[in-house]
Amino acid sequence: MPQSFRVQKVAALIRKEMSELLMRGIQDQRVNETLITITEVEVSGDLQHCKIFLSIFGDHNHKENVLKVLESAKGFLKGELGRRLQMRRTPEILFKLDKGMEKGTSVLNLLDKLQEERKAKSTHNNSME
């Protein structure tokens, strides 16, 4: 079901403000020194819930640590969002790790490997002729 214009606008505003908060609002070194990208924001039709999908650069343990920091700062982030967006009721925030970029990278690596194997095979076949 397509989202209403209002829901889309709130999602875009949340994305913008949350990006700003992640860059300058959280005073934790694990967040400040990590490349974090908000890949998508999904807001429920009643504007009560918000899923924020994040791409976090680093190994699995680092990603988990950053997510824990964000979970512990959720109250602060929700309060700041409410203040900045001036909404009657700020949506509950749920952070989700977006694994799409990881999957994309692994697919690209597999394609590169396949291409190298094809080159090696064609070189081997040409040398046999």
Which residues contact residue 18 at a Cβ distance below 8 angstroms, ignoring those fewer than 6 apart?
38, 41, 52, 77, 81
Q: What is the pLDDT of residue 102?
A: 63
Do 94 and 104 have their domain in common?
A: no
Please tell me the distance from the alpha carbon of residue 83 to that of residue 61, in angstroms, as a whole number: 32
Residues 128 and 91 occupy one common structural domain: no
Between β-strands 49-56 and 36-43, what pairing exists: parallel, antiparallel or unpaired? antiparallel
Tens of pLDDT along the chain (129 residues)?
567 898 999 999 999 999 999 888 888 887 888 888 999 999 999 999 999 999 988 888 988 999 999 999 999 999 999 999 998 899 999 999 987 766 666 677 778 888 888 888 777 666 666
- Do 62 and 105 sit in the same domain of this protein? no
| Total of domains in the chain | 2
67 and 105 together in one domain: no
